[in-house]
Structure 1
Amino acid sequence: MTLLARLTPGARAALLVIAVGALCMALDRSANWLPGWPDALTLPMTQWVGDGLEWVFDLIRPGVRLISALLEYPMAGVNWLLTETPWPLVLGATVALAWYAGGLSMAALASVGLGFVLISGYWVEGMNTLALVFVSVPLALILGLLIGIWSNESPRARPWIEATLDLMQTVPTFAYLTPLLLLFGFGPVVGLIASAIYAAPPMARNTALGLQRVEAEVKEAGIMAGATRAQQLIQVEIPAASTQIMIGVNQALMAALSMVIIAAVIGGFDDIGWEVLLTMRQANFGQSLLAGLVIVVFAIIIDRISARMATSGQRFDLRISWIILGVSVVAAIAAWALLPPPGDFALLAPTVEAVDSGLSQFTRGAGATLDSIKNNAMFYGLLPLRIGLDSAVLPFTWGFSWTPGMSWIYYGVAGLIGLGVALTGRITLGASLVILAGVFETGISELPWPVVFVGVGALAWVSGGWKLTRLVVILLLFIAIAGLWERALLSLYLCGAAVLICAVVGGLLGLLSAVSATAWAVIRPVCDMLQTIPLFVFLIPVLMFFQIGEFSALLAIIAYAIVPMIRYTRHGLVTTPAELLEAATSSGATKWQTMKEVRAPYAAPTILLGLNQTILYAFAMLVIAALIGTTGLGQSIYIALGSANVGLGIVAGAAMAILALIADRIVQGFAEERRRALGL
């Protein structure tokens, strides 16, 4: 057996990447086509897609505009109902529903939350936002329910449906808006339709999952009773899957609220999302923070009530709900003429002014420290990762210039370290250290395209074999041929930096939460809050302290994407079977040895799934972060939205979805391999 055959797949893949990287370095001076994708191999795909979609849009626009006009009626009706109904009645109805779903604590949450919205002065804007949500959600629920039933009923169509749902959930949110803007025109209907489309996949997935999990005995009982297929589905299987379907309703509600806020970028209606965007652009951060908190309050109330109704069968005394509603009706009627407009309740205006004043004083006093944190992170971390040490090390920042001789010394030291690790038997780790050193010296955005193709393809081969490798290479080829290669690498750089930090910090916090109940009691509510906040709101605090730039975008991405890493790491570590822990204890293992040798290996598949979710969250936030000055595909999508360039919006959105899909498939492959190794 040859030496190569004795190497593990990971070692062979890593050595291949090193060989290709060394060849590219040797050819660097003579081959000017290596640093970036050759222009000669680029196709005007953006133009083709734009022209093709414009042709299609011209054909269907009259029918679509008719649908848009029809949708304006229910939207206007719900909007009128919410804005014109006296606020005590809206508040009372919400509190009554909250009591029925969750009792006193839930009712208190709803009353305090809506009370905050009232005194914020954003009651009307909040009702406008809820009107869009309440009209879009039924559309999403009907569409998702039908798709989920279709997936359950047609095994042949199921793979295609699941692939389409994967694509819909990985396509950036902004990419939905560009074609819809051209189809439906300017106005709130675009937000409504985008919200319904974006919220349908969670409903479809949970419907299909719930129907697939209905026990065979339940299905057989329906058949034995002589039910037709339609009767069995409607009267037996859907009720049996109701818990999972209600989880889909909860997720659809949250997705719709998030998308409505994002749709405010195109303007056209006076809602909370537009208020956040407008005040952020004006650097009025106190007001922006207040509007953002209103969004958070709505998200928390909707999430808690719908989640409780989805996961708990307990319901509280309906008579008290009727009493609460009755009291609110009496209060509304009695004080009808005395009630001032809701917008006049802006009792927090002095607080907003105090926040702005305090923030101004803080930034003046700590401005040098904040700038130092941002600049150090950029000069000594992000910039080398982006353009490499050979370009980032300058006298202005580092105090000296990077020379070719330093590159040789750097690679020599990295090679010796890698060789030393490899001689201990960990060849894959040693080779990987050399690859990482090369990436940091060259920079992700400056990597030769053959290295990226071979590197990602090799990783896919180790994860999922040749089938996944072919898929990954074809998808990367699409990005390159479309002329988006450089922008894709910029997106990969910022997303990679955020995911790396999330993996380290989130993993450590998950470990701490697993070993300390006190730590988890503190960390859990923070995670709950971060998962409830719509993406838009994450931009506000980072802008308040660090202004526009890549560092602010990085912090926003980390804040949004770190939660899955914490939750999955903890869950994996605390769910180790008791018999494995008893065996480790009986063999005399210490707590640290048990964690390292038993818990961590068993939790590896779950932790990898957490990493997978973190990557998808990071890509989702990366597009929103384009609002505060990032480069790459997210910026292209945002520019396409502003210029109504449907071709660029669709192709750049597809490229972003491809990067997320590649990462998803590779990480899932490694997780599946670990599950097989553990016999799960």
Structure 2
Amino acid sequence: MADTTSGMSTSRQAAAGYGLRAGAVAVGAIVLATLLWVAAGEAEWVMTVPAWMVIPLADWVSVGMDWLMRDAAILGVSVRDVLRGFSSILAIPLDVALAALARGAEIPFGAVDIVLPPFSWIGVAIAALIAAWQLGGRRLTILTALTLAYLVLFGQWVSAMTTFASIAVAVPIGVGLGLVLGILAFMKPSVERALTPVLDLMQTVPVFAYLVPVLVMFGFGPVSAMVATVIYATPPMVRMTIVALRGVPPETLEFGTMAGCTRLQMIWRILLPSARSGLMVGANQVVMLSLNMVIIASMIGAGGLGYDVLTALRRLQIGAGLEAGVAITLIAIVVDRFGQALSTGAARQADLPLRWILPAVLVAFTVLAVFVPALAVPPDYLTVSTSSFWDAVMTWINVELYDFLNAIKTFLLIYVLLPAKRLLLALPWIWVVGVLAALGWSIGGLRLAALVALLCLFIALTGFWEPAMVAVYLCGVAVIIAAAIGIPVGVLSAKSERVHGVTAVVVDTLQTMPSFVYLIPVVMLFQVGDFAALVAIVAYAVAPAIRYTDHGIRGVSAEVLEGARMMGCTPRQILWRIQLPLALPEILVGLNQTIMMALSMLVITALVGTRDLGQEVYIALTQADIGQGLVAGLCVAAIAIIADRLIKAAVARRRANLADT
């Protein structure tokens, strides 16, 4: 026992010594950078990146893409023709899905064309309710029924089926691709090392950044939208496949080896069935991200609900946009609940043979729809709309509450936003690079410091330093406000089951609502500009701060709390001196997710008049400038990676300190 205590004491002393040395180096670097700044005065090369240092990477990328699409060839066939052929192949299942769910089809038969209607809406509804009852019971059935009723009553059925058609093709491709890559990464560490930075970029580069190259390579239309959706939604499946396969117990693998399984049999008959629960979680994430992509994908040719929301946003039709946005949100919630039911193994407990009953229901009602047109598509007399009501509400708010809302907007602009923006833009770029590198050294050592410095230099030397600082200012203020709201709400949620029930519903809704939907009421209330963007970012990014704080507070062991009460601690002391310090790693993880969501919302807010990296990416999309879009997107990814690595290092150090104590 004495030896163990001595060892722990030695480890704590070593960690403390390293922390002091790293902190001293960091402080010294910051002081040195500050002295250089002061000594240089306002030298131009200190304040702004000299023009001779800027690398024209955006131009190089654009020239390279032009060469690829015009002159490059594979075995004598131009790359352009290869990509167009691949696009034609992908269009086949997409056209079939659209015909089955939304459009129907015409089949030439001699002199007469046979018109086949899409699946009957009654048949689809009944099949969905049967599946919901079998997989999730009463609660999932009620939720599914309410969602279906909403789609019918508010005239969203055809648009929803168009969206489902693209999702039905994109999701299997994303799941299959992610599964294959995850298996390869699990089997070969070299593949995982190569995939990790690629996956990081795919999850941090704004979607708009690769819409332009996708548009150039595959043309305008639903296929391009589907390809962009697959790129956006595949990374979680790869990561979850790796995690799930690593979680298979060693005893299971030993059993497969003793049974004489080949490598292929080991994968398909042992590993994948054993990792089914984790794989279903990954597949569910692919579905959710695909639904989150529907509005953005509509900008390059996808139809459906996303196109309806985008059109309403452009016309500032708050009612129509909210109705379509709520439809996407309800669908996302239902799909998420179906995914949870499948991941828990409920499908294996089903009493009815769903694989036979569901197609039979669809076919039977579709045949009836040939003779009864009202069964094919929801009739117009069932449709209602609240669009005029919401438009009237927004008009009333703008008239009656204008002075109050404008006062809040003016106060935050004058005393918070503009000072923060001027401060960041006034900082010398060399000083910022040095300070962030020193911070990385103090938290995570030399490797983290080098990574942070290189990413900062990438932003500076590609000519996007000033837009990057505007992006940091906007996201930074939004994250501070989101944390100031989310952490107290998370604490209250952890303390009260009633509050927890309410916040769980609110957080689920916030995380499933498409990002574009936030812009509609924000623009109607606050017009365009930085403040409107700030409000939209805060609303979109506050959910992780609430959820992870709640989870962290609830994760504090009951024994620790009981010991604190026995020592006479008050509830306030327990919260501030025990629960919050012990929950700090989870709270920091939530803060990290808040930053990631704020950055992902950055490009969306370019539509309301910001002047940052998001605007650079959006301008590149409108001008089909591949180089500018990709490089600006990579700069956003660099900011995200810097924040992610610094916070993860802080979390790791905090958890190590908690483990030692």
Q: What TM-score results when the alignment is normalised by the length of structure 1? A: 0.87
Distance change >3 Å, CA 554–CA 118, structure 1 → 2: same
Deviation at residue 45 of structure 1 after TM alignment: 1.1
Aligned to 1:78: 97
User: Contact 2:237/2:282 (CA < 8 Å) preserved in 1?
Assistant: yes
Distance change >3 Å, CA 617–CA 596, structure 1 → 2: same
Q: Please state if 1:638 is matched with 2:618.
A: yes
User: Contact 2:214/2:224 (CA < 8 Å) preserved in 1?
Assistant: yes
User: Contact 1:89/1:325 (CA < 8 Å) preserved in 2?
Assistant: no
Q: Structure 2 counterpart of 1:167, which letter?
A: L
Aligned to 2:334: 301
Tell me, in whole angstroms, the C-alpha distance in 2 between the residues paired with 1:346 and 1:467.
66
15-24 vs 128-137, which moves further: 15-24
Q: Please state if 1:525 is matched with 2:505.
A: yes
Q: Could you list the per-position Cα deviations for residues 446-467 of structure 1 after superposition, in whole angstroms to 9, with x for gaps in the alignment? A: 2111221112111111121111
Q: Please state if 1:506 is matched with 2:486.
A: yes
Distance change >3 Å, CA 7–CA 245, structure 1 → 2: closer
Q: Please state if 1:171 is matched with 2:212.
A: no
Tell me, in whole angstroms, the C-alpha distance in 2 between the residues paired with 1:330 and 1:167.
47
Aligned to 2:105: none
Tell me, in whole angstroms, the C-alpha distance in 2 between the residues paired with 1:198 and 1:81.
25
Q: Please state if 1:374 is matched with 2:354.
A: no
Tell me, in whole angstroms, the C-alpha distance in 1 between the residues paired with 2:287 and 2:642.
28
Aligned to 1:364: 399
Aligned to 1:385: 420
649-658 vs 581-590, which moves further: 581-590
SS at match of 1:256: helix
User: Contact 1:192/1:260 (CA < 8 Å) preserved in 2?
Assistant: no
116-125 vs 171-180, which moves further: 116-125
SS at match of 2:61: helix
Deviation at residue 232 of structure 1 after TM alignment: 1.1
Distance change >3 Å, CA 223–CA 323, structure 1 → 2: closer
Which of 236, 239, 242 lines up with 1:205 in the alignment?
239
Aligned to 2:33: 20
User: Contact 1:286/1:356 (CA < 8 Å) preserved in 2?
Assistant: yes
Deviation at residue 588 of structure 1 after TM alignment: 2.5
Which of 296, 303, 306 lines up with 1:273 in the alignment?
306
Deviation at residue 311 of structure 1 after TM alignment: 2.9
Q: What TM-score results when the alignment is normalised by the length of structure 2? A: 0.89
Q: Please state if 1:65 is matched with 2:84.
A: yes
Tell me, in whole angstroms, the C-alpha distance in 1 between the residues paired with 2:628 and 2:290.
25
Tell me, in whole angstroms, the C-alpha distance in 2 between the residues paired with 1:358 and 1:577.
47
SS at match of 2:415: helix
Which of 38, 41, 44 lines up with 1:32 in the alignment?
44
Which of 30, 40, 61 lines up with 1:49 in the alignment?
61
Which of 549, 552, 557 lines up with 1:577 in the alignment?
557
Tell me, in whole angstroms, the C-alpha distance in 2 between the residues paired with 1:240 and 1:321.
23
Which sections of structure 1, spanning at least 5 residues, go unmatched?
A: 388-442
Computed over aligned residues only, the root mean square deviation of the Cα atoms, in angstroms, reads 2.3
Deviation at residue 5 of structure 1 after TM alignment: 11
Aligned to 2:296: 262
Deviation at residue 157 of structure 1 after TM alignment: 2.2
Which of 362, 365, 380 lines up with 1:345 in the alignment?
380
272-281 vs 9-18, which moves further: 9-18
User: Contact 2:294/2:305 (CA < 8 Å) preserved in 1?
Assistant: no
Which of 244, 247, 253 lines up with 1:219 in the alignment?
253
User: Contact 1:121/1:344 (CA < 8 Å) preserved in 2?
Assistant: no
Distance change >3 Å, CA 456–CA 345, structure 1 → 2: farther
Distance change >3 Å, CA 362–CA 348, structure 1 → 2: farther
Deviation at residue 312 of structure 1 after TM alignment: 4.6
Distance change >3 Å, CA 55–CA 452, structure 1 → 2: same
Q: Structure 2 counterpart of 1:373, which letter?
A: I
Deviation at residue 78 of structure 1 after TM alignment: 0.3
User: Contact 1:92/1:325 (CA < 8 Å) preserved in 2?
Assistant: no
Which of 344, 349, 367 lines up with 1:311 in the alignment?
344
Q: Structure 1 counterpart of 2:643, which letter?
A: A
Work out the number of aligned pairs and report it. 620
Distance change >3 Å, CA 591–CA 42, structure 1 → 2: same
Which of 156, 168, 178 lines up with 1:134 in the alignment?
168
SS at match of 1:157: helix
Q: Structure 2 counterpart of 1:594, which letter?
A: I
Alignment of 1:100-249 (within 5 A): 100-249=134-283
Q: Structure 2 counterpart of 1:195, which letter?
A: T
Q: Please state if 1:547 is matched with 2:527.
A: yes
Tell me, in whole angstroms, the C-alpha distance in 1 between the residues paired with 2:257 and 2:295.
46
User: Contact 2:119/2:376 (CA < 8 Å) preserved in 1?
Assistant: no
Q: Structure 1 counterpart of 2:100, which letter?
A: L
Tell me, in whole angstroms, the C-alpha distance in 2 between the residues paired with 1:224 and 1:544.
67
Which of 125, 128, 132 lines up with 1:98 in the alignment?
132
Tell me, in whole angstroms, the C-alpha distance in 1 between the residues paired with 2:542 and 2:282.
23
Tell me, in whole angstroms, the C-alpha distance in 2 between the residues paired with 1:458 and 1:283.
46
Deviation at residue 7 of structure 1 after TM alignment: 5.7
Distance change >3 Å, CA 280–CA 483, structure 1 → 2: same
Q: Could you list the per-position Cα deviations for residues 198-238 of structure 1 after superposition, in whole angstroms to 9, with x for gaps in the alignment? A: 11111111111110000000100101111111111110111
Distance change >3 Å, CA 121–CA 350, structure 1 → 2: closer
Tell me, in whole angstroms, the C-alpha distance in 2 between the residues paired with 1:74 and 1:319.
26
Alignment of 1:611-626 (within 5 A): 611-626=591-606
Deviation at residue 261 of structure 1 after TM alignment: 2.2
Distance change >3 Å, CA 588–CA 343, structure 1 → 2: same
Q: Structure 1 counterpart of 2:53, which letter?
A: L
Deviation at residue 343 of structure 1 after TM alignment: 6.9
SS at match of 1:34: helix
Deviation at residue 328 of structure 1 after TM alignment: 7.1
SS at match of 1:214: coil
User: Contact 1:246/1:309 (CA < 8 Å) preserved in 2?
Assistant: yes
Deviation at residue 23 of structure 1 after TM alignment: 4.4
User: Contact 1:99/1:316 (CA < 8 Å) preserved in 2?
Assistant: no
SS at match of 2:44: coil
Tell me, in whole angstroms, the C-alpha distance in 1 between the residues paired with 2:598 and 2:36.
33
Q: Structure 2 counterpart of 1:529, which letter?
A: T
Q: Could you list the per-position Cα deviations for residues 431-483 of structure 1 after superposition, in whole angstroms to 9, with x for gaps in the alignment? A: xxxxxxxxxxxx11221112211121111111211111111111111111111
User: Contact 2:237/2:283 (CA < 8 Å) preserved in 1?
Assistant: yes
Q: Structure 1 counterpart of 2:58, which letter?
A: T
Deviation at residue 333 of structure 1 after TM alignment: 4.9
Q: Could you list the per-position Cα deviations for residues 229-250 of structure 1 after superposition, in whole angstroms to 9, with x for gaps in the alignment? A: 1111110111000000000010
Percent identity between matched residues is 40
Aligned to 2:315: 282
Tell me, in whole angstroms, the C-alpha distance in 2 between the residues paired with 1:312 and 1:340.
34
Q: Structure 2 counterpart of 1:288, which letter?
A: G
Q: Please state if 1:665 is matched with 2:612.
A: no
User: Contact 1:272/1:291 (CA < 8 Å) preserved in 2?
Assistant: yes
Aligned to 1:88: 122
Distance change >3 Å, CA 5–CA 607, structure 1 → 2: closer
Q: Structure 2 counterpart of 1:73, which letter?
A: I
Q: Could you list the per-position Cα deviations for residues 596-624 of structure 1 after superposition, in whole angstroms to 9, with x for gaps in the alignment? A: 22222221211111111111111111111
Q: Could you list the per-position Cα deviations for residues 391-431 of structure 1 after superposition, in whole angstroms to 9, with x for gaps in the alignment? A: xxxxxxxxxxxxxxxxxxxxxxxxxxxxxxxxxxxxxxxxx
Deviation at residue 350 of structure 1 after TM alignment: 4.7
Q: Could you list the per-position Cα deviations for residues 340-395 of structure 1 after superposition, in whole angstroms to 9, with x for gaps in the alignment? A: 774753756552112212322321222222222222211111111101xxxxxxxx
Which sections of structure 2, spanning at least 5 residues, go unmatched?
A: 1-16, 73-78, 103-117
User: Contact 1:121/1:342 (CA < 8 Å) preserved in 2?
Assistant: no
Distance change >3 Å, CA 156–CA 347, structure 1 → 2: same
SS at match of 1:270: coil
Q: Structure 2 counterpart of 1:532, which letter?
A: T
